[in-house]
Amino acid sequence: MKLFFSLILTLFYTMTNYSQTRDTIYLWPDKVPGQIEVKQNPTQSSNKTGNVIRLNKVTNPALIVYEPKISNNNGVSIIVSPGGGYGILAIDLEGYEIAAWLSKLGYTAYVLQYRVPNKRKEALYDLQRAIKVIRSKNAALGLSTKKLGVIGFSAGGSLSARASTQFSEKSYTLMDEIDTISSRPDFALLIYPAYLDEGENRNLSPELLVNTQTPPMFIFATADDKYGNSTLVMATALRDNKVPVELHLLPNGGHGYGIRSGNIAAETWPSLAGTWLQNEVLNK
């Protein structure tokens, strides 16, 4: 029965996402930094395992916009970074479906189509640029004080963590006035993040420059996730630097479940994250 409802939910999200025309914001109007290839539409993998839509090549990074109902808009924006091992993007499971959920809660959600495959450095450029582009857009609308955060899954969690700790580093040549805007997120949610423990003896990855300026974080994973140590080392680094952090580690659930029903972890983290957002973002 759970499997049946999971399939129905997946079908609903797929129909919702592909039956509506959503605004698309392309991040780089001219040359894409670190890229020689000509911009093209993203290509989709023929692999549909797990009923997941996978983008296997992105050369024109973009944001897909999910606006909440006007009556429910709380004024906070969140960029959603799907996972996929930096090789593909699980664009529906960890992108569109997450954005649809966030928009129902009143958040303006942006699904980030960052560069793949094997563009870890360039993916960071894309997320940093996305933060700046949204802030520029908000400023033009007189909403420059509104909060903007990030949420990422697996490799997208790695990307969100990097953006949350490398905002003081100059990563690419400035392209225009937009690039003078800060790329520091106001908050971050890391859901079963990966690749955060690539330091010596599985300690924190050296590229993650955690300090007192790192934004507050919500972190969720499970003990049976092979990447579970990433959550522990990140939470420890945040705690040591007195950065507010909320960590949840369930015994079971595995990895890569998104928000779909039929998995105890997938059915648990959204309510915890929603409460954290309410307390730590909306009420502060």
Neighbours of 69 (CB within 10 A): 9
- What confidence tens digit (pLDDT) does each residue in 168-186 have? 988 888 989 999 999 999 9
Please give the model's pTM, rounded to 2 decimal places: 0.92
Determine the average pLDDT of the residues in 116-142.
96
pLDDT beyond 50 at 73: yes
The domain limits of the chain are: 2-282
Q: What is the pLDDT of residues 176-222, one digit of tens each?
A: 999 999 999 999 999 999 999 999 999 999 999 999 999 999 999 99
Q: Are strands 77-81 and 148-153 parallel, antiparallel or unpaired?
A: parallel
| pLDDT tens readout for residues 33-61 | 999 999 999 999 999 999 999 999 999 99
pLDDT at residue 250 is higher than 80: yes
The answer on pLDDT for 6 being more than 60 is: no
Helix orientation angle between 229-240 and 155-165, rounded to the nearest 10 degrees: 20
pLDDT at 19 over 50: no
Residue 5 pLDDT > 80? no
Which carries the bigger pLDDT value, residue 174 or residue 151? 151
The correct CATH number of 2-282 out of 3.20.20.450, 3.40.50.880, 3.40.50.1820, 3.40.50.720 is 3.40.50.1820
User: Once rounded to an integer, what is the mean pLDDT over residues 103-127?
Assistant: 98
- Answer whether residue 20 shows pLDDT above 60: no
Q: Nearest CA to 178 among 284, 25, 27, 24?
A: 27
| Torsion sign, CA atoms 32, 38, 42, 44 | negative
Residue 145's pLDDT band (boundaries 50, 70, 90)? confident
- Residue 261's pLDDT band (cuts 50, 70, 90): very high
